[in-house]
Amino acid sequence: MSINWQRARCAGMKITDHWDPWFLPEQMDHALAICNGGYTAGVGCPIREECLLYAQTHECRAGIWGGMSELARKALRLHKPEADWHWQTEEDALEGLDVAALIAEEESWADEGTR
Ligand code: SF4
């Protein structure tokens, strides 16, 4: 999969020690809004799906990728088949799951096949 990262909504955004909404937990709502169109009339990042799949298949566990939180992406990895790893709201990704158990749930990339 070849991804044109230059099309990303986050492309060129200046990250500093004090402004990094993709990886500073207290700022992650901003990253979710940028990815998902919260500041642009609902028009999300044009490569959101590609970004999400990249993270899911390249051990990118930390931070915001594909407009989803670490926990929501973990929910997809552990509880949905890979064919269903599409963007969804945090609420939908976590629906029906015991969040505390999900946080504690171990996952192993080695157990997930050949990616
Ligand atoms: S979906 Fe990915 S590429 Fe797009 S703005 Fe969010 S983090 Fe950046």
pLDDT at 109 over 90: no
- Do the domain assignments include residue 35? yes
- Do the domain assignments include residue 1? no
Give the pLDDT confidence of 30-43 residue by residue, as tens digits. 999 999 999 999 99
Q: Model pTM?
A: 0.91
pLDDT at 113 over 50: no
CA distances from 65 to 62, 84, 96, 98, 102 (A): 8, 16, 22, 22, 19
Given the CA of residue 48, which atom of ligand 1 is nearest to it? Answer: 1
Q: Which domain holds residue 100?
A: 21-110
pLDDT at residue 8, rounded to an integer: 98
Give the pLDDT confidence of 52-66 residue by residue, as tens digits. 999 999 999 999 999
Domain count, the chain: 1
- Do the domain assignments include residue 74? yes
Pocket of ligand 1 (CB under 6 A): 8-10, 34-35, 45, 47-48, 51, 64-67
- Do the domain assignments include residue 65? yes
**Which of 14-18, 46-50, 105-109 shows the lowest mean pLDDT across its residues?**
105-109
> Do 47 and 5 contact (CB within 8 A), yes or no?
yes
- Do the domain assignments include residue 13? no
Q: What residue's CA is closest to ligand 1, atom 8?
A: 10
